[in-house]
Amino acid sequence: MIPLAVLAFTVLTSLALSAADWPQFLGPNRDGVYTGTDIATSPKPALLWKKDVGQGFSAPVVAEGKLLLFHRDGNKETVEAFDPASGKRIWATDSPAAYRDDFGFDEGPRATPTVAGGRVYTHGADGFIQALDLLNGRQLWSVDTRQKFEFRKGFFGAVCSPLVEGNAVLISVGGSNGAGLVAFHKDTGKQLWSATSDEAGYGSPAIATIAGARHALFFNRAGLTDVDPASGKVRFQFPWRARSHATVNAATPVVSGDLVFLSASYGTGAVLLQIRPSGPKQVWSSDDAMSNHYATTVLRDGYLYGFHGRQEEGPSLRSIEFKTGKVQWNLDRYGAGTVTLAGDRLIVVRENGELVVAEANPKEFRSVAKAQLLPGTIRAYPAIADGRLYVRDTKTLAAFDLRK
């Protein structure tokens, strides 16, 4: 009985630790949801530490006792591991960086690292993919997609955060000649399959089980592509983009059951699809419901919360009904930012550096806490792990305690 009790305790402890991690873009399930219960109802953020970092829009991640940040310093892209509680550096690994932004914006990495199975997977702004040992940062394998797949830079370089599914690392490469989407073996970097010749979008894929089958959902330049992650077989493609060439699809698909929500700006708007064996069925679409420029919405109890409108035009923050698109409430010209869900609270990090904690209430917007975190501008998503909030702008990485 004692060994069984020890085993049960070990399993429960392991589950508790993993629940506190934020190992990839948008969190454990790529849905922007923090499942911990340790955040205060009306938190008063206490600064734990902050440090200078390089350029980039790549979000921090937390896994297995390490906080990781992917950023650029000079002509190097650096993956750096820190102690989450103190900010003390554990290790750092550099790779060459040659990306140049055509618009004079930030030239750091855009894609967020993914941690799985003791490895860290990164996708640099110039299309350089690598796997590192989480323990010490040692490079295990790498692929230069510019050379191998004729990666197309687009407007803002490579943005897709790696998605690990089974033995595969799935990435929207945006290469020509059938290398729009590529799967790499997680242990060796060997190409497993490739599909489509579509240009990459500026978002990251979602993964879901629909009708008993796994679906990798890529919202790329032309629209949604549904792929079997094991074989690379394309189930269907659903066109959804603006007519103008100078546009982007950047938000990650939101999945609930057999329903998939897509949203883009530039006059495109939102659409809700029902995924059936025969293909997608459109439930509703509207440019007046929710048009996400770059930030993905979050879903709770049948309602979506997110930013509507283009970043440079002062988007509104709003709630809409998931199955109908009906607007529930709207804060006009609220300004851009990101929304993360923690229990029944919305964790809103605005571009101006302000944190706003509000009720996830479809009837009205009710703020319960506010604090200025950084001077701004914050465009990277935050990470929440073990009751701590990690945010970064283009110069600073900071940790705040939100616990009860």
Asked if residue 108 belongs to a domain, the reply is yes
- The burial class, CB within 10 Å (0-12 / 13-18 / 19+), for 325 is buried
Euclidean distance between CA atoms 234 and 73, whole angstroms: 39
Q: Find the largest Cα–Cα distance for the chain.
A: 67
Q: How confident is the model at residue 393 (pLDDT cuts 50, 70, 90)?
A: very high
Q: What is the pLDDT of residues 226-251, one digit of tens each?
A: 999 999 999 999 999 887 776 789 99
pLDDT of residue 177: 87
Question: Taking all residues of the chain, what is their mean pLDDT, rounded to a whole number?
Answer: 93
Asked if residue 62 belongs to a domain, the reply is yes
Asked if residue 99 belongs to a domain, the reply is yes
**What CATH number has the domain bearing residue 108?**
2.40.128.630
Q: For residue 117, which amino acid is it?
A: G
Q: What are the structure tokens assigned to 391, written together? A: 């945010």
Q: What is the pLDDT of residues 81-123, one digit of tens each?
A: 999 999 999 999 999 998 898 887 889 999 999 999 999 999 9
Number of domain units in the chain: 1
Asked if residue 238 belongs to a domain, the reply is no
- Mean pLDDT, to the nearest integer, of 370-394? 95
Asked if residue 103 belongs to a domain, the reply is yes
C-alpha 269, offset from chain centre: 20
Euclidean distance between CA atoms 158 and 401, whole angstroms: 32
23 to 116, 264, 319, 389: CA distances (angstroms): 7, 26, 27, 14
Asked if residue 19 belongs to a domain, the reply is no
Asked if residue 184 belongs to a domain, the reply is yes
Q: What is the pLDDT of residues 137-183, one digit of tens each?
A: 999 999 999 999 988 888 888 999 999 999 999 999 999 889 999 99
Residue 29 host element (H or E)? none
Euclidean distance between CA atoms 87 and 198, whole angstroms: 40
- The parent domain of residue 183 ranges over 57-202
Residue 16 pLDDT > 60: no
Asked if residue 175 belongs to a domain, the reply is yes
Q: What are the structure tokens assigned to 121, written together? A: 């997977």
Residue 334 pLDDT > 70: yes
Q: How confident is the model at residue 218 (pLDDT cuts 50, 70, 90)?
A: very high
| Total Cβ atoms within 10 A of residue 88 | 11
Euclidean distance between CA atoms 178 and 173, whole angstroms: 10
